[in-house]
Amino acid sequence: MGVKTSHYYWLVAPAALMVAIFFLYPLAFSLYSAVSAESGQFTLAHLEKIFELYSTDILFTLIIVLSSVVILAVLSISIAALITLSPFRSVVTLLGFLYRLPLFIPFIVTAQMMRTFLAKNGLMNNAFIASGLMTPMDTVSFLGWSGIIITFVWKQLAFTTLLISGAMAALDESQIRAARNLGASRVRILINIILPQVAPTIGVSLVLSTVTMMSVLSVPLMIGTGTPTMISADMAFRVNSYGDYSVANALGLVSYVLCAGLAWFYLRQSLEDKGVRS
Amino acid sequence: MFTKTKIAVIATIGLAQFSAVAQAETVLNVATAGSQNMVDYVKTYLAPKFEAMHPDVKIKVVGTGPGDAGSHKIFEKLSAQKDSNQENWDIDVAVVHQKVGGEMVNEGLLANYRNDISTGALVTRDSAKNALGTNVEGYVMPMFHSQTAIAYNSAFVKNPPKSYDELVTWTQKHPKAFGYNGIKNGMSGVSFVTGWIYAYGSDANTLSSQSYDSQKKNEWNQAFTDLKAFNQNVTFTPGNAGTLDMLNRGEIFMGPVWVDMFYSWKDQGKIPPTMKLALIGPGMPGQPMYYVTPSKAAHPQLAREFITLATSPEVQAEGIVKRFNWYPGIDADNVKSKLDKASWEKLFAEITPSDLAKYGKSFPIAEYFDDIKEGYERKVSN
């Protein structure tokens, strides 16, 4: 009472200032650098160059990220559903513990782990050979695109499952009970009652995972082999090898656009869900 | 109100004490680019030696990361301090790659110190004067020289190729048994590709010592087309260490590696003893790492003393050659007398000094180097 609203702006100021200095300014600067020549004139040369050199890599990144997201969605929804609906509580407790593990392992450690696990003569294939399921001649290396997808899914699974199972747990249980009383199967309960209500959370978790995967450098560098590679590896290469920030920023622009597209799609969905119409 | 004042007073006293402690000894800041083994070398070998000689000096070692990127960070930091007109820059000694060393001299970031130190006369090789086309005479002292070569498993490969031509034939007979890491995952692959251009594009001498001709890259089209075909028969590895990993697991039988990394891994038993090296013709590139000191280092005298110690024949023999398996930075003749015969022979057992002289090339000058990498991106991997 008696405090003017303008005072509240002061409360927001430190956070807003941090965002402006450490996020908005570098963002604006990198966008500017992506479309300007050294003399400061507007140019599309950098963008032309990335489409000439890296169009396959951009496509590759999209395919990798999208397929990871699809697998991620299927797996994390199944695990979350199991946790919410399974009658076997001990299994649920174990699962609840196991799925959280990757949450605490950094990407670079995951990548190093997968590098020894997925290699042609790595831990996984050696285990198959030792158990007699395979001969050394049949082994294939998963280092490459498949390895990148496996690593992304393994690492992000914990995060998405955590969010989705949290949302499922927060649902009003009386609805599930009511449906059960009317004879609905578990699968039906999942599809008709739970999923529609947690869809926004699934959206959030998948969009956030996409953005994370787009930004990870260690995984494509350590597990990817040669070409094509992901945009993040190309950006690092442009900077480290040529000292060429403009083309790296142009690549950054492409990944902003990809992420912004997703964010737009998601925001529109969630606003519509809330009944806001433009 | 009183509490606030008290807190302020206590904080001030605390800070004053802290800075008093910090001033009690001089801190010499050493920044080193390169892989972890280089940071280890400075931190565990050089720094204790220097601190023993100067009890009042504390050495702070910072590793800035592998590859040219690590050197670039040092470059950017010094350049920022120069642009903001700082009196003293906070790096006293830096270890940088050849390419960035040249750029730093061009930007006027480095001190011309070689004539000030007693070991300055012990190095005569070309790479101490010319860094990929830039005249760096006086500004740099080579720390060590590293070289790329082809590693192979002698248990399976009886007659290793002696040239790029023979390697191409070998990969046709043994598809996927040769592996390298492309150009985006580490320098050993970049080096292999550079060697390819030396063999089938323009020779090493033209590209590493003559002035830049932007038309030159048009002569390499066939070389890149051939490399693309060659790539069909090879396995791609995930990095410098990745190539050694795959050699170790028997997933590939041959691949380009850094000689020093190879020897270190062999010493530690991380690759089988049957692994051997071959430096193939017409040659593969290698590069020195440079000791440099910024022109506005806070402790210029100590920095010079540090570099003198680091480039003395004793330290080069014991540290660089014996412990870390690098080729010495100062002229080998000055080091040989300080070493036992076994260590000396181990270093040159697989690549003889004459092979090294014949096939050990420099990297090309910066512009050609960029042309090679971009040509690869455009014509081979695209």
How would you write B185-196 as a 3-class SS string?
CCHHHHHHHHHH
A102 band by pLDDT with thresholds 50, 70 and 90 = confident
Residue B19 has pLDDT above 80, yes or no: no
Of A121, A222, A241, the CB nearest to B239: A222
Nearest CA in chain A to B380: A227
Beta pairing partners, B255: B151
Q: What angle do CA B262, B65, A151 make, to 5 degrees?
A: 80
**Do the Cβ atoms of B69 and A222 come within 8 Å?**
no
Residue B49 has pLDDT above 90, yes or no: yes
**The pLDDT of residue B381:** 81
Distance from CA of A239 to the nearest CA of B (A): 8
Distance (Å, rounded) from C-alpha B353 to C-alpha A241? 31
Contact (Cβ atoms closer than 8 angstroms) between residue A108 and residue A232 = no
Neighbours of B233 (CB within 10 A): 16
What sign has the CA pseudo-torsion B356, B358, B364, B369?
negative
Share of chain B above pLDDT 70, in %: 94
Task: Residue A119: list chain B partners with CB under 8 A.
Answer: 245-246, 249, 251
Region A35-53: mean pLDDT is 88
- DSSP letter string, B329-373: SS-HHHHHTTS-HHHHHHHTSSS-HHHHHHHEEPPPPHHHHHHHH
Residue B297 has pLDDT above 70, yes or no: yes
Contact (Cβ atoms closer than 8 angstroms) between residue B164 and residue B199 = yes
Distance (Å, rounded) from C-alpha B283 to C-alpha B306? 34
- pLDDT tens-place string over residues B118-151: 999 888 888 888 888 888 999 999 999 889 999 9
Q: Please give the helix or strand (H or E) that residue B284 lies within, else none.
A: strand B284-292
Angle A45-85/A195-215 helices, nearest 10 degrees?
Answer: 140
Mutate to test the interface with A, among B35, B107, B185, B228 (most CBs of A within 10 A): B185
φ, ψ at B7 (rounded to 5°): -60, -45
**Average per-residue pLDDT for chain B:** 87
**The pLDDT of residue A275:** 65
Contact (Cβ atoms closer than 8 angstroms) between residue B89 and residue B298 = yes
**The pLDDT of residue B1:** 43
Nearby residues of B129 by Cβ (< 8 Å), 6 or more positions away: B135, B136, B137
B322 band by pLDDT with thresholds 50, 70 and 90 = confident
**The pLDDT of residue B373:** 92
**Do the Cβ atoms of A226 and B250 come within 8 Å?**
no
Contact (Cβ atoms closer than 8 angstroms) between residue B174 and residue B160 = no
A4 band by pLDDT with thresholds 50, 70 and 90 = low
Distance (Å, rounded) from C-alpha B109 to C-alpha B292? 10
**Do the Cβ atoms of B184 and A222 come within 8 Å?**
no
Query: Where does residue A13 fall: left (phi above 0), alpha (psi -120 to 50 degrees), or beta otherwise?
Result: alpha
Residue A28 has pLDDT above 70, yes or no: yes
Residue B6 has pLDDT above 60, yes or no: no
Residue B112 has pLDDT above 60, yes or no: yes
- 3-class state of residue B286 by DSSP: strand
CA distances from A174 to A53, A163, A169, A195 (A): 57, 21, 12, 16
Q: Give the pair of three-digit tokens for residue A114.
A: 């997968």
User: How many A-B residue pairs are in contact by the CB < 8 A criterion?
Assistant: 75
Of A120, A228, A242, the CB nearest to B251: A120
- pLDDT tens-place string over residues B245-267: 999 988 899 999 999 889 888 88
Residue B200 has pLDDT above 70, yes or no: yes
For residue B353, is the peptide bond before it cis, meaning its omega torsion is within 30 degrees of 0? no
**The pLDDT of residue B210:** 82
Q: Please give the helix or strand (H or E) that residue B93 lies within, else none.
A: strand B93-97
Of A53, A222, A227, the CB nearest to B182: A227
Distance (Å, rounded) from C-alpha A81 to C-alpha A198? 11
Region B97-118: mean pLDDT is 92
CA distances from B76 to A250, B82, B85, B109, B113 (A): 21, 10, 14, 10, 21
Residue B14 has pLDDT above 70, yes or no: no
Q: Please give the helix or strand (H or E) that residue A83 lies within, else none.
A: helix A45-85
Nearest CA in chain A to B236: A225
Nearest CA in chain A to B67: A240
**The pLDDT of residue B220:** 94
- pLDDT tens-place string over residues A172-188: 889 888 988 998 888 89
Beta pairing partners, B235: B179
Region B357-365: mean pLDDT is 87
**The pLDDT of residue B30:** 95
- 3-class state of residue B292 by DSSP: strand
- pLDDT tens-place string over residues A136-179: 777 888 888 899 999 999 999 999 999 999 999 888 889 888 98
**Do the Cβ atoms of B239 and A240 come within 8 Å?**
no
Beta pairing partners, B234: B178
**The pLDDT of residue B12:** 52
Neighbours of A62 (CB within 10 A): 15
**The pLDDT of residue A172:** 87
Least confident of A263-267, B21-25, B278-282: B21-25
Q: Please give the helix or strand (H or E) that residue A115 lies within, else none.
A: helix A107-118
Share of chain B above pLDDT 90, in %: 54
Task: Residue B190: list chain A partners with CB under 8 A.
Answer: 241
Distance (Å, rounded) from C-alpha B129 to C-alpha B368? 19
